[in-house]
């Protein structure tokens, strides 16, 4: 069990996580993230990660619209994505996030899209806010007069804690969402801060994966994991906030993002892209047979089966046992954008 000595929850409740439960997954996640440094950097990686991070926070646009408007966003949703891209590029270009500079980064994130301006404040928010899922309020952050103290603790933790950057980034992500120091943009900024901690902690491959996309595909679990931490538990005869579930959730999303980027290393033919894009609309586990694929791609069943088998070898699809000629069922393992 690891106590996070630099950080406290509201009412002084300590934070901890159970590294014994997480260790096996931590090692796998660490290896995945380290391996991602060797992947090709897809030109759309930052755009797609930013698109999904903004979508989590209510942006409603398409990737195609953002690409067309990238130099001159025409609406709020497109600008939310572009702002996120600018902030990530800033972080990956050597910008140092600190208690003194985080407002500068936040200004980039919310440029011309800021909500709740009534409590904007000169540095952090000057009033109260709440954290909501699509259905309800899931967290009420500390009052605004206490934010400065919490944020000082956060940056002391980032600068001084003797902890692997993988743990540090996820904990910083949670804590910024927990505090909600700004009137708007806290979720986007928290995910950027997480990437910053990974990147400066030696995991440069984070630039080549799309963690926000993985989170967006499992958004209910994201809110559930955040909400779970807010409920104090009794440990060692005292109340504590347990981050174990949230860290575990993020390990899964990071490995999913690494896995998706790994599969992107394979060159896909146009028929393969068309097939995967159609299946992705139906989600993970979508099924197809060679006969149906042949109709979709306008090829023979034999050719369709060859394509499906190649996609199974590349691990985009999972192939079931054959039930006769062209009767195997292929299930989607990885969504493509």
Query: Which token pair is 249?
Result: 């959730």
The strand pairing partners of 318, in sequence order, are 331
We find that the CATH architecture of domain 270-332 is Orthogonal Bundle (1.10)
Q: Which has the higher per-residue pLDDT, 253 or 138?
A: 253
CA proximity to 168, closest of 194, 187, 150:
194
Return the SS3 of 156.
helix
User: Of 102, 78, 112, 79, which is closest to residue 152 (Cα–Cα)?
Assistant: 102
Pairing mode of beta strands 287-289, 233-235 = unpaired
The answer to whether 2-263 and 270-332 have equal CATH topology is: no
* Domain ranges across the chain: 2-263, 270-332
Largest CA distance in the chain: 70
- Chain segment 145-181, per-residue pLDDT in tens: 999 999 999 999 999 999 999 999 999 999 999 999 9
pLDDT per position as a tens digit, 23-63:
999 999 999 999 999 887 776 889 999 999 999 999 999 88
Q: At what angle do helices 290-297 and 301-313 cross, to 10 degrees?
A: 110
- Write out the two tokens for 220: 């209910």
- Predicted TM-score (pTM) of the model is 0.80
Is the confidence at residue 288, as pLDDT, over 90?
A: yes
CATH 1.10.1140.10 fits 2-263, yes or no: no
For residue 22, give the nearest of 232, 308, 255, 327 by alpha carbon: 255
User: How far is it, in rounded angstroms, from Cα 92 to Cα 94?
Assistant: 6
Q: What's the CA dihedral at 255, 256, 257, 262 to 10 degrees?
A: 90
Model confidence band, residue 189 (pLDDT cutoffs 50, 70, 90): very high
Positive or negative, the CA dihedral 221, 256, 202, 49 is negative
């Amino acid at each position: 069990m690891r106590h996070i000595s630099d950080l406290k929850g509201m009412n002084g409740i300590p934070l901890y996580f159970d590294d014994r439960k997480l260790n096996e997954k931590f090692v796998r996640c660490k290896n995945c993230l380290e391996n991602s440094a060797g992947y090709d950097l897809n030109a759309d990686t930052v755009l797609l990660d930013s698109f999904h991070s903004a979508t989590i926070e209510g942006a409603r646009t398409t990737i195609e619209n953002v690409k067309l408007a990238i130099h001159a966003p025409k609406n709020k949703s497109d600008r939310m994505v572009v702002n996120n891209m600018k902030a990530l590029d800033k972080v990956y270009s050597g910008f140092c996030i600190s208690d003194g500079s985080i407002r500068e980064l936040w200004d980039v994130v919310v440029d011309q899209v800021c909500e709740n301006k009534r409590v904007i404040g000169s540095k952090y928010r000057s009033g109260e806010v709440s954290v909501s899922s699509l259905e309800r309020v899931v967290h009420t952050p500390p009052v605004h007069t206490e934010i400065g103290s919490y944020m000082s603790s956060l940056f002391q933790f980032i600068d001084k804690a003797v902890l692997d950057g993988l743990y540090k980034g996820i904990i910083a992500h949670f804590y910024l969402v927990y505090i909600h120091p700004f009137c708007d943009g806290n979720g986007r900024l928290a995910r950027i801060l997480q990437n910053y901690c990974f990147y400066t902690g030696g995991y440069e491959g984070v630039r080549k994966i799309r963690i926000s996309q993985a989170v967006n595909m499992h958004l209910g679990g994201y809110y559930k994991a955040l909400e779970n931490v807010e409920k104090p538990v009794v440990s060692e005869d005292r109340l504590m906030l347990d981050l174990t579930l949230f860290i575990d959730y993020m390990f899964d999303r990071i490995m999913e993002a690494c896995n998706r980027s790994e599969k992107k290393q394979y060159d896909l033919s146009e028929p393969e892209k068309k097939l995967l894009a159609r299946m992705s609309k139906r989600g993970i586990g979508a099924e197809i047979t060679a006969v149906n694929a042949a109709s979709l791609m306008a090829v023979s069943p034999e050719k369709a089966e060859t394509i499906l088998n190649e996609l199974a070898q590349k691990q985009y699809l999972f192939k079931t046992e054959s039930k006769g000629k062209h009767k195997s069922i292929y299930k989607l393992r990885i969504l493509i954008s």
